[in-house]
Chain A
Amino acid sequence: MALSSDASEGMDYLERLPRRVVTLYLPLAIFLFVLLFPFYWMTTTTLKPDDELYDYARFNPFWVHHPTLDHIHKLFFETSYPFWLINTMLIAVASTVISLICSVCAAYGIERLRFSGARYVGLAIFLAYLVPPSILFIPLAAIIFKLVLFDSDWALILTYPTFLIPFCTWLLMGYFRTIPYELEECALIDGATRLQILWKITLPLAVPGLISAGIFAFTLSWNEFIYALTFISSTENKTVPVGAITELVEGDVYHWGSLMAAALFGSLPVVIMYSFFVEYYVSSLTGAVKE
C-alpha cells in the first residue's frame, strides 16, 4: 500500500513539473531576457573600448574582452552630463510635486465635493490629456518666449504639468472612489473641516494611489523629449534625453560608448526609485482601506 502511494506521488510531481516549465518558467525566462537584454547591451557597450565595439570579427559582441572606463570618464568629465542629470532630476521632482498637489485637489473636489457639473469637469480634464505634446509644443513655445522663460528649467517645470495633471487626476479619482464615503461623513460629524478630512483621513488611505501617480509622473517627466528639445537651447541647461542625442552625436559620428553610458546612468535613478517604491507600494496596498 505505502509503495503504490509513494509511486503515485512521484508521478504527480513529474506531471506537474513539465507543465510549470511550459506555462510559467519558459515565458518568464523569455520575458526577462527581452527586458534585461538592453541593459546588458548598454553595460557592455559602455565598458568596451572603441576598437572592440567596431570589430565583430575578432571580438565576440556579447562579451567585454578589455573593459575600459574611458567612455564613462569622457561622459562625466568632458561633457555637461552631470549638469544634465541634475537638471533632469530637478525638473522631474518639481513637476511631480506640482502635479501631485494639483491632482489631489482636483480629484478630491470632483469625487467628494459633488458640485454640479463635477463629472463634466473630470471628463474635460481627462480629454485634455488626449491632445498630444507633438502638436502643443509649437504654441507652448510661443507662450514660453512671451513669458521670458526660454532656456530655463522653469520652462519645463511649468509645462510638464499640462500632461502630468490629467493623468494623475484620473488615477487619484479612482483611488478616492475606493475610500468609503462613510469615513468622511463620520469625520464631518466629528468636527473636521474638508481640508482636515483630506489631510488626515483621505490622503493616508490613498497612499498607494499617490505613489502610483508619483512614479508615473516622475517617469513621464524624466523621459520627456520634445518639450525639452524645443524650450532648452544652451548645453548646460539640457536634460539627459536631449543632451545625449544632441551632444553625443556629432554630425554622423555616433559616440556609442558615451551614448550607452549616458543612457545607462540616465535610467538608473528611475530604476532605483521603482525598486524602492515597489516594496512600499505593495505593503501599503495589502494594508489599506480593507477593514
Chain B
Amino acid sequence: MASVEVSNVRKSFGALEVIHGVSISVADGEFVILVGPSGCGKSTLLRMVAGLESVTSGELRIDGRVVNNVAPKERDIAMVFQNYALYPQMTVAKNMSFSLELARRPKDEIADKVGKAADILGLKPLLERYPRQLSGGQRQRVAMGRAIVRDPAVFLFDEPLSNLDAKLRVQMRAEIKALQQRLASTTIYVTHDQIEAMTMADKIVVLHDGVVEQIGTPLELYDRPANLFVAGFIGSPAMNFIKARLDGGAAPTLVAASGVEIPLHAAPRVAPGSEVVVGVRPEHVRLGGEHATPARIMVIEPTGYETQVIASLAGQDVVCVFRERLSGRPGDPIPLAFEGPLHFFDPQTGEAIAAA
C-alpha cells in the first residue's frame, strides 16, 4: 500500500484548462472519494493518477515517487471502470489472471491468487463463465476481483456503481467498504453520488469546475461546509438557502424581502443590516413550537418513514423533512422554526461566515 500526493496539478486539453491547480494528499490505507457534479474533472483527475491522461503541470507522487511520466503498468495501480471493461472473449478466470500472465508469473501462483480473490468476492462458481453470461453485479465483482489479484499499491474506482440499480448499489457499497477495510488498501474512488461519498469515505474531496472546494471527513463536510457549493452538494435533500437581511437587535432576526421576520437562535459574525445567506438543512426544520414563523405547504410527500414538505416561507421555497406523519394538504398553513445548526454564507463570495 502507498500514499498518493497530487501537488498543484493542472490539466489542459489544447487551450482549454480543465483542472486548475488541484492538491490532494491520500495517506496510506485511506479511502478517499472525489465527488462533484458531472464535468467537474474528477474522472480526469483519476485518469491522471492512473496514467491514462498526461499531467500538464504539477507533480503526481505515488509512494513518494514522482510518476508524471511513468507508464500506467509501472505505477502499481489497479482500476475498476464504470463499464467494468471486462474482456468479452475471455472467461472470468482468464480476465482475472490476464495481468499476471502478462507479467509471466508461475502458473500455481496465478491459480492461487485468482482463487483467493474469487473466494473474497464469492466468484468461485462463476470462474468458467463469460462476461456476457453474468449479471451487472457479478460483472462488477469480477472487475474488482481483477483489481485485487494485482495486489496494487493504490486502487482506483471510476464511478463503479453508476450502472447498477438502486438496491444493488446499496449492497455493493457495503461490500466495497468492507473489502477496503479488510485489505487496508489505499483507495481513490470517484462518484457523483454524494450519498456514496458520505457512507464510504474516510475523506471526501469535493470538486467543482476543476477546483477543490473542500476536503474533509464526511461529518466535517456535513457540519461545517466551507462554502455555498459544498453546503448545497452534501446532504440529501439539499440544504435550504434563505437570502435575507440580518436585523440587529436583542435577538438575531432575519428579515426577508417580503418583510417577514424569522427569529434565529444563532447569528453570524457580520455587521447588523448586512445581506446574508442562511443555510438550514431540511432535517433541521422544526414543526411549530416557540418562535415559529408561519409558512404555507406547497407540496407534501410522505415516504413512509418520514414526510417531505416543500413550504413557502417568506416568499422562498423551503424543503423540510419531518419524522412525524403529517396530514396537511397543499395550501394549509404550517408553522416552521429552525433548530439545529445554522450555516451562514456571504452572498457575494459564497464563503462560509463564522457564527458570532
> Does A136 make an interface contact (CB < 8 A)?
no
Complex CA–CA separation, A204 to B103 (angstroms): 21
Q: How distant is the Cα of A287 from the Cα of B88 in the complex, in angstroms?
A: 9
A263 to chain B, nearest CB (A): 41
CB neighbours of B103 from chain A (8 A): 191
Q: Pick the residue among B52, B84, B150 that contacts A188 (CB under 8 A).
A: B52
Chain B neighbourhood of A189, CB < 8 A: 50-52, 72-73, 77-79, 99
CA distance A42 to B99 in the complex (A): 57
Q: Report whether A291 and B52 are in contact in the complex, using a CB–CB cutoff of 8 Å.
A: no
Residues of B within 8 A of A291 (CB): 83-84, 86, 88, 131-132, 139
Residues B88 and A288 in contact, CB atoms below 8 Å apart: yes
B168 touches A (CB below 8 Å): no
Contact of B102 among A185, A191, A205, A287 (CB under 8 A): A191
Query: How many chain-B residues does the 8 Å CB contact rule pick out?
Result: 26
Contact A185 B52 (CB under 8 A): yes
Q: Which residues of A contact B146 (CB under 8 A)?
A: 190
Question: In the complex the two chains form, is A183's CB within 8 Å of B85's CB?
Answer: yes
The proximity string for B residues 50-85 relative to A, scoring 1 for CB distances below 8 Å and 0 otherwise, is 111000000000000000000111000111010111
Asked if B348 CB lies within 8 Å of chain A CBs, one says no
Cβ distance A6 to chain B, nearest Cβ, rounded Å? 43
- Distance of B84 from chain A, by nearest CB (Å): 7
- Residues in B whose Cβ lies below 8 Å from that of A205: 88-89
Known: A188-B52, A191-B99, A192-B102. A289 touches B88 (CB 8 A): yes
A196 at the interface (CB under 8 A from B): yes
Contact A188-B72, Cβ < 8 Å, known A196-B102, A291-B132, A291-B139: yes
B102 and A182 within 8 A (CB): no
B81 touches A186 (CB 8 A): yes
Contact with A along B78-119 (1 / 0, CB 8 A): 110101111111000000001100110000000000000000
Closest to A290 in B: B132
Q: How far is the CB of A285 from chain B (nearest CB, A)?
A: 13
Report A167-197 CB contacts with B as 1/0, cut-off 8 Å: 0000000000000101101111111100010
Look across to chain A and name the residue whose beta carbon is closest to the beta carbon of B47: A185
Report Cα–Cα, A22/B165, bound state, in Å. Answer: 47
Q: What residues of chain A lie closer than 8 Å to B102, measured between beta carbons? A: 190-192, 196
Distance A289 CA – B132 CA, assembled complex (angstroms) = 9
Q: C-beta contact mask, B121-148 vs A, less than 8 Å → 1, else 0?
A: 0000000000110000001000000100
Q: How far is the CA of A187 from the CA of B50 in the complex (A)?
A: 12
A190 in contact with B73 (CB, 8 Å) = yes
* CB-defined contacts of A188 to chain B, threshold 8 Å: 51-52, 71-73
Residue of B nearest to A183 (CB): B85
A201 at the interface (CB under 8 A from B): yes
Q: Are B87 and A183 in contact (CB under 8 A)?
A: yes
Rounded to whole angstroms, the CA-CA distance of A188 and B78 in the bound complex is 10
Check A182–B98 contact: CB distance below 8 A: no
Pick the most buried of A188, A288, A291: most chain B CB atoms within 10 A of its CB.
A291
Most buried by B among A186, A188, A288: A186
In the complex the two chains form, is B98's CB within 8 Å of A190's CB?
Answer: yes
Task: A289 to B86: give the CA distance in the assembly, Å.
Answer: 10
Partner of B85, one of A180, A196, A204: A180
* Residues from chain B with Cβ under 8 Å of A204 in the complex: 89
* Interchain CA distance A187-B319 in the complex, whole Å: 47
Write out the residue numbers on chain A whose beta carbons fall within 8 Å of the beta carbon of B50.
189
Give, as a whole number of angstroms, the nearest-CB distance from A176 to chain B.
Answer: 15
Cα A288 to Cα B103 in complex, Å, equals 27
Q: A191-B73, A191-B102, A192-B102 are in contact. Are A186 and B88 (CB under 8 A)?
A: no
One digit per residue, 1 when the CB lies within 8 angstroms of any chain B CB and 0 when it does not, for chain A 13-35 equals 00000000000000000000000
B24-49 toward A: CB 8 Å interface, digit per residue (1/0)? Answer: 00000000000000000000000000
Q: Given contacts A190-B102, A190-B150, could you give 14 more A-B pairs where the C-beta distance is less than 8 Å?
A: A180-B85, A182-B81, A185-B52, A185-B72, A185-B85, A186-B81, A188-B72, A189-B52, A190-B98, A205-B88, A205-B89, A289-B88, A291-B84, A291-B88
15 contacts between A and B (CB under 8 A): A182-B81, A183-B87, A185-B81, A186-B79, A186-B81, A188-B51, A188-B71, A189-B73, A189-B99, A190-B146, A191-B103, A204-B89, A287-B132, A291-B83, A291-B139
| A residues at B contact (CB < 8 Å) | 180, 182-183, 185-192, 196, 201, 204-205, 287-291
- CB-CB nearest 10 A-B residue pairs: A190-B99, A191-B73, A182-B85, A186-B85, A191-B102, A189-B72, A204-B89, A188-B72, A182-B81, A183-B85
